[in-house]
Structure 1
Amino acid sequence: MRSGLLSNSMEEDGVISAIIPQVSVVVPIKDEVESLPHLLEAIATILTESGLTYEIICVDDGSSDGSAQYLKTQAEIRSDLKAVILRRNYGQTAAMAAGFNYAIGKAVVTLDADLQNDPADIPMLLAKLEEGYDLVSGWRKQRQDAALTRLLPSKIANWLIRRITSVHIHDYGCSLKAYRAELVADMNLYGELHRFLPALAYIEGARITEMPVRHHARRFGQSKYGLSRTFRVLMDLFTIAFMKKFLTRPMHVFGLWGMVSILSGGAIGIYLTWVKIIFHEDIGNRPLLILAVLLLVTGVQLFCFGLLAELLMRTYHESQGRPIYRVREVVAKKTE
């Protein structure tokens, strides 16, 4: 167990540093003005009663219903609220990334603004985080959504994501999650990758678990999600699968298939040459000749893609000073 995650202050060389919030609650928002008063009150009440220092970071993702104005008004009179207003609608991934960038707490909790996630579950997730986990994901075990349009697609998507990523949690779509701050700092979000945060955390070497959480029926407004997001989710899933296995060694996939293609094309070419020389048969109109040329050209292209990908990965890591490893902790004997 790692102690001190939720302590109020840090002491280094006898100097007490400024108090850092124990928890940063990040809430991406899109047209949820009716829910916001209830949500902010619920978060503040439960965290205050739990004796936790906290900040609430609400990220308005291009709302058109007055959510942004309400947040700005509240942020001017509340010391626990930070309103981040995006210039337009960028999507939930961008809104969550913005919240992560502005969070300064030792632990970060995310949840939706529609009141379907219950803020009363936050202390439970944080307590689990204290047991040594880096990410605790909520599991909407008794989900209050439409069976055909929401529950069935969700079950299929979760099964597929589990199979491809090897991260075996039940509910990837639950926004209620708790993270260690250092884990959030290591994850870069883009596209629709907020759905795959546990898989991204797994790539970073995180210890992950899940806990059943409450889920309520929507009280205000309408859901922003539909079946149209399926294609985007699938594309990002392929990205995650590639990153999981080949982030630091892309040549292993491009080069492998490139060599297979080159060797196959070469073998077919040798066979056709043997037929031409030994049996004096015409090979110019044979489909095998076209296949051999195609395989050779494709193999060379894949091999070149692998080389380019290797250079890009080196640029990615070296330009940002990002190591190819993550250190969990360093243990050494103290010198007296």
Structure 2
Amino acid sequence: MPRISVVIPLYNEIDNVTPLCDALAAALAGADVEIIIVDDGSRDGSAAALDREAEARGDHFKMIHLQRNFGQTAAMQAGIDAAQGEVIVTLDADLQNDPLDILPLAERLLAENLDVVAGWRKNRQDGLLLRKIPSRIANRLIRRLTGVFLHDYGCTLKAYRASVLKGVRLYGEMHRFIPAWLSTLTYTDRIVEVPVRHHPRRAGKSKYGISRTFRVLVDLLFVKFFLGYSQRPMHFFGVIGLFSLFVGSGMLIYLFIDKFAEGAEISGRPMLIAGVLFFLAGLQFLNTGIVGEMLSRIYFEGQGKTTYVVRRAVHLDVPPEH
């Protein structure tokens, strides 16, 4: 089994296939490594070019071809599932990440017994308006809401301990939030960030745009909820429901007293409508919390998951992943 697995999702990068493989071969020469490039349904000839490179360069160059374009997160998950190394390093295929940074990140993770070493594109070579500013806004929001303080969540170049990374599943556009997901399985002080090289794109077309910023914001709401309340959704919905019930009940009791003690007319008052709405909304939030609790238990018990992960055991045969 290789010590390091390098996972690279690739989509329509025909002009970068050979330069990428050349750079990987030069940077990783002599290392105990496997290189897994996942073709995410490319339509520009990248698949055939990857097969030629794999045949020419040897068994440590491994290719996975997805049946269609499933997205970067799915492609990355496919590579992670196939990886056999103790350390998994991910990076983009556009050569803006430098393969020369792969081994230093992996070596630091192993030397300092860390779980994540994240790359930080400190001197980012991208456009200011469409890439840098939206990225800074998104990174600041992610840091505040997840509690994992990284400067550059969008940098794909990261080294992970495989036993920890394989404990999470990636869906949607969640690849950028992997360190936040892993904070549910490990301490945040085992997640560090180091500056890495970043180059301008030399060939091909970027797959990123301003629209991704809005998708990040939507995904971030889900991440925040999942990190804080996936095992206790009633604590989230129940608090809102009880508050709404309290406000609605207060309004209705006030109107009840005003009606029968003072003889006031209440049928046309806005407070009556507001009180009923708050009361019904409170009941709905409580019901949602109950359903959420049931679904949470189905999720964990149905997949054989528990609320803990074992790092290692002494004189015991305990499976690490739960």
- The normalised TM-score by structure 2 is 0.94
Matched residues, number: 312
Using the alignment, how far apart are the partners of 2:239 and 2:113 within structure 1? 38
SS of 2:183's equivalent? helix
Say yes or no: does 1:31 pair with 2:9.
no
Q: Structure 1 residue 260 and structure 2 residue 240: aligned?
A: no
Q: Compute the RMSD of aligned alpha carbons.
A: 1.3
Aligned to 1:69, which of 48, 53, 75? Answer: 48
Is 165-174 or 29-38 further displaced after alignment? 29-38
**CA distance, structure 2, for counterparts of residue 41 and residue 105 of structure 1:** 21
Q: Give, in whole Å, the separation in 2 of the partners of 1:212 and 1:167.
A: 17
2:136 to 134, 148, 155: 155
Aligned residue type for 1:328: R
TM-score scaled by length of structure 1: 0.90
Q: Secondary structure at the match of 1:203?
A: coil
Deviation at 1:63, TM superposition (A): 1.1
String of CA shifts for 1:75-97, please: whole Å, max 9, x gaps.
34421121111111111111111
Contact 2:21–2:53 (Cα < 8 Å) also in 1: no
Q: Which amino acid aligns with 1:65?
A: D
Q: Which amino acid counterpart does residue 90 of structure 2 have in structure 1?
A: T
Mark the runs of 5 or more structure 2 residues left unpaired by the alignment.
317-322
How much has 1:70 moved relative to structure 2?
A: 1.2
| 1:325 to partner: Cα distance | 1.3
How far, CA to CA, are the matches of 1:126 and 1:96 in structure 2? 18
Question: Could you tell me which amino acid in structure 1 is paired with residue 61 of structure 2?
Answer: L
How far apart, in 1, do the equivalents of 2:51 and 2:306 lie? 39
Identity %: 50
Q: Equivalents in 2 of 1:28, 1:267: separation in Å?
A: 56
Measured against aligned partners, the alpha-carbon deviations of 1:104-160 in whole angstroms (never above 9, x if no partner) come to 111100000011101101111012101111011000001111111111111111111
Q: Which amino acid in the other structure matches residue 53 of structure 1?
A: D
Q: Could you tell me which amino acid in structure 2 is paired with residue 161 of structure 1?
A: I
SS across alignment from 2:222:
helix
Paired amino acid for 2:221: F
For the residues of structure 2 that align with 1:72 and 1:120, how far apart are their CA atoms? Answer: 23
Which runs of 5 or more structure 1 residues have no equivalent in the other structure? Answer: 1-19
Partner residue, 1:214: 197
Are residue 298 (structure 1) and residue 267 (structure 2) matched? no
Quote the Cα distance in structure 2 between the aligned partners of 1:73 and 1:119.
20
Partner Cα distance (1:118, 1:81) in 2:
18
Match of 2:252 among 248, 251, 269: 269
Q: Give 1:329 shift.
A: 3.1
Structure 1 residue matching 2:152: 3-state secondary structure: coil
Q: Cα deviations across residues 38-69 of structure 1 (Å, max 9, x unaligned)?
A: 211222222224xx211111111121111111
- Matching of residues 305-316 of structure 1 within 5 Å: 305-316=288-299
